[in-house]
Amino acid sequence: MTRPGPLPSAARAIVKGDRRALARAITAIENGDPAADPVLRALYPRTRGVPVVGIAGPLGVGKSSLINALVAKLRTEGRTVAVVAVDPSSPFSGGSVLGDRIRFERSADDTGVFFRSMASRGAAGGLAAATLEATRLLDAAGFDVVLVETVGSGQVDVAIREVATTRVVVVVPHLGDEVQTLKAGLFEIADVFCVNKVDLPGADLARRDLDDLVALGSWPGGWTPVVVGTSTAPPSGLDDLWAAVEAHERHLDASGGRAADERRRLSGEIVGLVRDRVGRDLIDRLERDPELRRLLDRVVARSLDPRAAADRLLASSRRSR
Partner 1 sequence: MGVTTRPRRTSPIRVLIAKPGLDGHDRGAKVVARALRDAGMEVIYTGLRQSPEEIVRAALEEDVDLIGLSILSGAHMALFPRVLALLKRQRAASVPVFAGGIIPDEDAKRLKRAGIRAIFGPGTSLGEIVSTAEKLARSRA
Ligand X SMILES: Nc1nc2c(ncn2[C@@H]2O[C@H](COP(=O)(O)OP(=O)(O)OP(=O)(O)O)[C@@H](O)[C@H]2O)c(=O)[nH]1
Could you tell me if 282 and 317 are in contact, meaning their C-beta atoms sit under 8 angstroms apart?
yes
Under rule CB under 8 A, residue 17 binds partner 1: no
13 sits near partner 1 (criterion: CB under 8 A): no
Going by C-alpha positions, the residue among 57, 132, 119, 48 that lies closest to residue 88 is 119
20, interface contact from ligand X, partner 1, Mg ion, none, CB < 5-8 Å by kind? partner 1
Per CB under 5 A, the segment of 93-101, 119-127, 226-234, 244-252 that binds Mg ion is 93-101
Q: Does 123 bind partner 1 (CB under 8 A)?
A: yes
Is 231 among the residues that bind Mg ion (CB under 5 A)? no
Residues 37 and 28: their CA atoms lie apart, in Å, by 9
What are the CA-CA distances from residue 282 to residues 33, 295, 306, 314 (Å)? Answer: 20, 17, 17, 9
CB-nearer residue toward ligand X: 39 or 126: 126
Which is nearer to ligand X, 74 or 313 (by Cβ)? Answer: 74
Closest by Cα among 200, 216, 252 to 227: 216
- Beta bridge pairs of residue 166: 53
Residue 64 interacting with ligand X (CB under 6 A): yes
- 106-165 binders of ligand X (CB under 6 A): 152
Is residue 63 near ligand X by the rule CB under 6 A?
Answer: yes
> Which of partner 1, ligand X, Mg ion, none does residue 16 bind to, with CB < 5 to 8 Å depending on kind?
none
Among 24, 63, 167, 248, the residue binding partner 1 under the rule CB under 8 A is 24
Q: Does the CA dihedral 153-158-161-163 come out positive or negative?
A: negative
User: Closest Cα partner for 55 from 193, 247, 162?
Assistant: 193
Does 179 engage in binding with partner 1 (CB under 8 A)? no
**Contact map string, positions 32 to 71, toward partner 1, x by CB under 8 A:** xx--------------------------------------
The whole-angstrom separation of Cα 190 and Cα 56 is 9
